[in-house]
Amino acid sequence: MLICMKPIDPFYDPKFWRGRAEATRTKAVSFAEGKSRDRLLKIAEEYEKLARRAEEWPTLKEDGDAEP
């Protein structure tokens, strides 16, 4: 009997988004003050929001409030 398992989607993993945020902040440090650095830091903030959302998603699914 062959059992197929669906791989875990990284988009629902807060670690995935926090890793992206950290990598983006690291990249931002390489830029001098300016628009590019500011934009990268803003993107890192958005990744952190996605990480928080990914933490909430399993709770919302159990409550029946959200679907993937």
What distance in Å separates the CA atoms of residue 18 and residue 21, rounded to the nearest whole number? 5
Asked whether the predicted pLDDT for residue 2 surpasses 90, the reply is no
Tokens of residue 49, six digits: 């929001």
> What's the whole-number mean pLDDT along residues 61-67?
52
* pLDDT top residue among 21 and 33: 21
> What's the whole-number mean pLDDT along residues 5-24?
84
Q: What is the pLDDT of residue 32?
A: 85
